[in-house]
Chains A and B, each alone.
Chain A
Amino acid sequence: MRRVLIVAALLACVPAVAHAQSDITGEWAPLFHEDQVDRVPGLGPVDFAGLPLTDGARQWALSWDASRVSVLEHQCQVHVLPYILSGPTRLRISARRDGNTERIVAFDQYIGLWGQDRTIWVDGRPHPPAIAPHTWMGFSTGVWEGNTFVVRTSHIKQGWIRRNGVPESDLVTTTERFTRHGDMLTYVIYIKDPVYLTEPLVRSRNFVRMSGLGEGNWIAATPCEPGEETAAPPHGVPHYLPGENPFVAEAERRTGIPAEALTGGAETLYPEYRLRLKELLANRK
């Protein structure tokens, strides 16, 4: 018995190598324990709380009519990078090697639900000049800070940072961090938009490693083909003129939160705003 215990004690001292601890390649499924409503069904109109919006962004978002996504030119617009990994999508990460040297030159990501491929170059190439084309996923390069994979992206098309019409400009840049903790992948995105954000917006999400081959867990990407969906007059862009968005009052009723808070702004992100919110709610009674 004593010998067994001694052996056990010695074994406890022997380093065990676990090669895959910071291997971020593989298939990952999202968890929705935070921002579930925002990320899955989507928040209702006029709910921009917790976003550091400029006045211009707020005006844009208030003029946005959900029918806009039915316009032919917008039907195939996919989530842009600053939002897409918040959505209900699985994520596949793989390494791309140079065929001659076998060195890794990039990590490829496949964002399942919307069939988006992105490449994150790790071979030291610079970002292209500003005049280069912009895409939904942008141009990305990556480095390692310890076991965290840090990805910087530019050249992203204009899109949205929240699905209810909050805009994102084509000058946006992002820094993402992928850190593996066991079978959990923590994903943090730091979004800078000089047009529509007064300060950087940070979001953190969690993915869990999928076991096995994940058969049946992936939805085949279907090419988007625009077509007439409504009887709306051609070439019209659904919108609300300033002060005419009927969903402002509706959102107040739906959420119980005053419009001043629902229309966002950097001040709504900080703990002291709770006092202002209490004041607003007290005044309304």
Chain B
Amino acid sequence: MRRTALYILLAALPLTLSAQGPSARAQAPRDVTGYWVSVVSEDWHQRMAAARKGDFTSLPLNDEGKRVANAWDPAKYKPADACRPFGAPAIMRVPGRVHITWADDATLRIDTDAGQQTRRLQFGTLATRGWRVNGRGEIEWFEQGRDATPPAGPATWQGYSAARWDLAPDPKAVRNAVFFAGGLGTSPDGAGIVVPGRFGSLHVVTTRLRAGYLQANGVPYSESARVTEDYDFRTEDDGTEWFTVSTIVEDSKYLSAPFVTSTDFRKEADGSKWRPTSCAEY
């Protein structure tokens, strides 16, 4: 009985730790909500015009991945296959707009007009890690707790996404930045090189996926794929707001190495250009 209680305690540890601090919404270093458009300045041919059969030049496919991609036959297309290119490993690469909102204090929601998909990023289930200022005024990296096991459920196009903020420390609290700026000893007030403000990345891990396509031309990912994303939000000097999402897809069934891309989005004033399009119509 005691042992069972201990297991329960351990299983609940990450949730307990994350429940101690402010909510994920309150922790957000900036307002990330709103409408964002993907700016397609990379992989234009593959993304805008649809890659041709057998075009997987830049993907690290293993032999099985190449075999499946080469066997893809659009003539055998079935309506149930329509959303295969819109799963979490690929959706941020699809030209379109995303609408980001808080579903609740611990759930960030991303809707896409391309393919009409919904992603729910659940906070409070990953170990806490990031930069913080200790009692001596020093910045240090910390990791606390451990990742919780994703809850059981069916495999879906968007899978189960666990999220956390990887926050940078508050420069104002820093007296001795031994570890800041890469552990390189730069003083926070020295030469004015640390910009005041709240900064950090959104880290997301997605599993429990339904098998789909990394590219619309039948390049596969399997149900055991794991997607790790880091979202970096920023404001450029001209006042425009952007985020870049770095995406790592790991899939030992079809990939010989992690597949890494980074995709750029610019914030729009409103949703006037939002055009929901089903997977089949896209």
Q: Is the CB of B48 within 8 A of A273?
A: yes
Q: Can you pick out 21 interface pairs between chain A and chain B where the beta carbons lie within 8 Å of each other?
A: A2-B6, A9-B13, A12-B146, A15-B143, A22-B131, A35-B58, A124-B191, A143-B195, A146-B167, A146-B198, A175-B236, A177-B244, A181-B201, A181-B203, A190-B236, A200-B238, A201-B41, A202-B242, A204-B262, A208-B260, A268-B48
Stretch with Cβ within 8 A of B (4 or more), from A23-31, A72-80, A235-243: A23-31
Q: Let me know if B232 and A49 touch, CB within 8 A.
A: no
A103 touches B195 (CB 8 A): no
Distance in angstroms from A269 CB to nearest chain B CB is 5
Q: Is there contact, CB below 8 Å, between A124 and B10?
A: no
A232 interface hit (Cβ, 8 Å): no
Q: Is B187 an interface residue (CB 8 A)?
A: yes
A2 touching B2 by the CB < 8 A rule? yes
> A179 contacts B201, CB within 8 Å?
yes
B38 pairs with A104, CB closer than 8 A: no
A150 to chain B minimum Cβ distance, whole angstroms, is: 7
A179 vs B202: C-alpha distance in the bound complex, in angstroms?
A: 12
Digitize A2-28: 1 where CB-to-B-CB distance is under 8 Å, 0 elsewhere. 100110110011011111111111000
Closest-CB distance, B127 to chain A (whole angstroms)? 8
- Within 8 Å by CB of B183, from A20, A152, A186, A200, lies A20
Q: A104 CA to B184 CA in the complex, in Å?
A: 8
- The residues of B that contact A201 with a CB separation of less than 8 Å are 41
A103 touches B59 (CB 8 A): no
A8, A15, A123, A206: which contacts B144 (Cβ < 8 A)? Answer: A15
Q: List, in ascending order, chain A residues with CB within 8 A of B197's CB.
A: 145-146
Q: How far is the CB of B230 from chain A (nearest CB, A)?
A: 4
Measured between beta carbons, the chain A residues less than 8 angstroms from B180 are 22, 144
Known: A15-B140, A17-B141, A179-B232. Is A50-B41 also a contact (CB below 8 A)? yes
CA distance A256 to B239 in the complex (A): 38
Q: Is the CB of A33 within 8 A of B114?
A: no
- Alpha-carbon gap, A144 to B248, bound state (A): 25
Complex-state Cα separation, A102 to B3, whole angstroms: 54
User: Does residue A148 face the partner (Cβ distance < 8 Å to B)?
Assistant: yes
Q: How far is the CB of B224 from chain A (nearest CB, A)?
A: 20
| Contact present for B45 and A49 (CB under 8 Å) | yes
> What A residues does B141 contact at CB under 8 A?
16-19, 21
A2-B3, A143-B192, A271-B37 given; A204·B244 CB < 8 A:
yes
Q: A195 contacts the other chain (Cβ, under 8 Å)?
A: no
Query: Do the beta carbons of B140 and A17 come within 8 Å of each other?
Result: yes
- A255–B55 Cα distance when bound, in Å, is 12
A184 touches B246 (CB 8 A): yes
Map CB proximity to A onto B159-173 as digits: 1 under 8 Å, 0 otherwise: 000000001100000
| Contacts A23-B182, A34-B261, A103-B190 given; does A50 touch B58 at CB 8 Å | no
Contacts of A192 in B (CB 8 A): 238
Chain B residues numbered 223-282 whose CB sits less than 8 Å from any CB in chain A: 230, 232, 234, 236-238, 240, 242, 244, 246, 248, 259-264, 266, 273, 275
Which residues of the other chain, B, contact A142 by a CB distance below 8 angstroms?
Answer: 193
Tell whether, in the assembled complex, residue A203 and residue B184 are in contact, meaning their CB atoms are under 8 Å apart. no
Chain B residues with CB under 8 A of A148:
199, 232, 234
Centre residue among A2, A19, A175 by max chain B CB count within 10 A: A19
For B4-44 the 0/1 string (1 means CB < 8 A from A) is 00100110010001000000000001000000011111111
Question: What sequence of 0s and 1s flags, for each residue 179-193 of chain A, a beta carbon within 8 Å of any chain B beta carbon?
Answer: 101001010101010
Q: A203-B41, A257-B49 are in contact. Are A103 and B193 (CB under 8 A)?
A: no
Bound-complex Cα distance A21 to B182 (A)? 7
Q: Which residue of B lies closest to A181 (CB)?
A: B230
- Name the interface residues of A172-228: CB closer than 8 Å to any CB of B: 175, 177, 179, 181, 184, 186, 188, 190, 192, 200-206, 208
